[in-house]
Amino acid sequence: MNKIVIWDLFGGGCNSLSRAINEFNLNDKYAVYTFDVVETHKKSYRGQLDFSFQKYINLDLSQNNIIKIFEKLIKDGQIEKPNIITSSTLCQSFSKVLSMIGGGTCFWKQSIRGDKKSPLIERTVEEFEFLKSGFTKKLNAQKQLFIKRLGQKCAENSVELIRHFKPDYWYIENPDSSLLFQFLEINLNFKGFLNIGCYGAYGFPQNKSGGFYSNIEIELDKTRRPRTYETQWEPVTKEYYDNWIKSVVEKSKLGGTMDTRHVKFKNGKYYRRWYVDIGYKYGDKGHSSLKKTSMTLGKLVKQEFILKTKGDFDTKQISEANETSHIPTKILIEILNAFENDKLHNILSAKINQSEILKKEKQTEI
């Protein structure tokens, strides 16, 4: 029996798809080609890229001539044409974690504010510097602009590969709140179904939800785990409180909301909102989803952000190797099963239609 061939784009960081196939003993069913820029010799949570059904190809997926590169790999016999393409393209560029006052991410915004059917456009460095607040206050404009454009190119290449090689099934994955899906549908006119599942329902320790933009509709489990964190209030100075309110008022003039819920004045004291794991006081331990990543992406060289890679600095695609980027194995198997069931349904429907045609032809002859 011929194996089902999967091209797993950006899949090497956590190797989630191959881990799922191996865990559910589907090694004889699938042949996986994983394309990424990770170092395969590292032993860590991501899993080794040496499963018998998997071939790893160290490839920068942000390159301009992506179709020619893959055509050559096929011609040289290094890979087979795909039945399925999966893409876990870079999320930093489109992530709502990097949300700005007035909406959008560091360098993406809706051309018509609040309109999900409007194209996304790139904001200016000046606008970024003025609107950044909270977590984004510490971010460097050149670095974020670089990541935005890199993420855009990786998303465009994912779509280009799907359109050119026309697999039976595909999905492009990102956090459910990511602006990527609006970019795919509106900017690239790439139509699909956004299937959302809560990772907490599939064994993930947090209620992180993933979006799988695909050519078929899939009913994924959205059940949320019980909340593991709570809101507490940390005392702050009057100066901190006044500066926060002033910042909100100023930025509301540019389209930001007058949202002051993160600070309050009560019984003569000033406070700011703080999210902590249940059972902890503020300052003991932040909610785990808010922990900083230790991944170093690069450095500034002559005021331009250059991506850091081993032994050098260049503009290669970023490798996401943080375990929080891992996709639960159960949800991936559910998606693969949905692909298979849809294919079987289509085959059965085709046979029924053919039978009806033959039946009508015989009746005509009589």
Q: Residue 43: its pLDDT value, please?
A: 47
The average confidence (pLDDT) of the chain is 80
When mean pLDDT is compared over 88-92, 215-219, 228-232, 239-243, the highest value belongs to 215-219
* Separation CA 82–CA 168 (nearest Å): 8
Dump pLDDT digits (tens) for 159-217: 999 999 999 999 999 999 899 999 999 999 999 999 999 998 998 877 889 999 999 99
Domain with CATH 3.40.50.150 in the chain: 1-223+299-366
SS3 sequence of 105-170: CCCEEECCCCCCCCCEEECCHHHHHHHCCHHHHHCCHHHHHHHHHHHHHHHHHHHHHHHHHCCCEE
Taking residues 117-137, what's their average pLDDT?
A: 83
Q: Residue 311: its pLDDT value, please?
A: 33
Q: Is 231 left (phi over 0), alpha (psi -120 to 50) or beta?
A: beta
Taking residues 215-241, what's their average pLDDT?
A: 86
Band (258; pLDDT cuts 50, 70, 90): low
Query: If you ran DSSP here, which 8-state letter would residue 346 be given?
Result: H
Give φ, ψ of 15 to 5 degrees. Answer: 55, 35
Q: Which of 111-125, 178-192, 244-258 has the lowest mean pLDDT?
A: 244-258
Q: Residue 259: its pLDDT value, please?
A: 67
Dump pLDDT digits (tens) for 30-44: 999 999 987 544 444
Contact 13, 326 (CB under 8 A): no
Contact 36, 105 (CB under 8 A): no
This prediction has a pTM of: 0.74
Q: Residue 304: its pLDDT value, please?
A: 43
Taking residues 238-244, what's their average pLDDT?
A: 89
Q: Residue 95: its pLDDT value, please?
A: 81
| End-to-end Cα, the chain, rounded Å | 41
Taking residues 2-29, what's their average pLDDT?
A: 93
Dump pLDDT digits (tens) for 78-100: 999 999 999 999 888 888 766 66
When mean pLDDT is compared over 219-228, 271-280, 291-300, the highest value belongs to 219-228
* Separation CA 87–CA 96 (nearest Å): 19
Q: Residue 256: its pLDDT value, please?
A: 55
Task: Return the closest-CA partner of residue 137 out of 92, 106, 182.
Answer: 106
Band (26; pLDDT cuts 50, 70, 90): very high
Dump pLDDT digits (tens) for 301-343: 444 433 333 333 334 455 554 556 789 999 999 999 999 999 9
- The domain made up of 1-223+299-366 has a fold known as Rossmann fold (3.40.50)
Band (48; pLDDT cuts 50, 70, 90): low
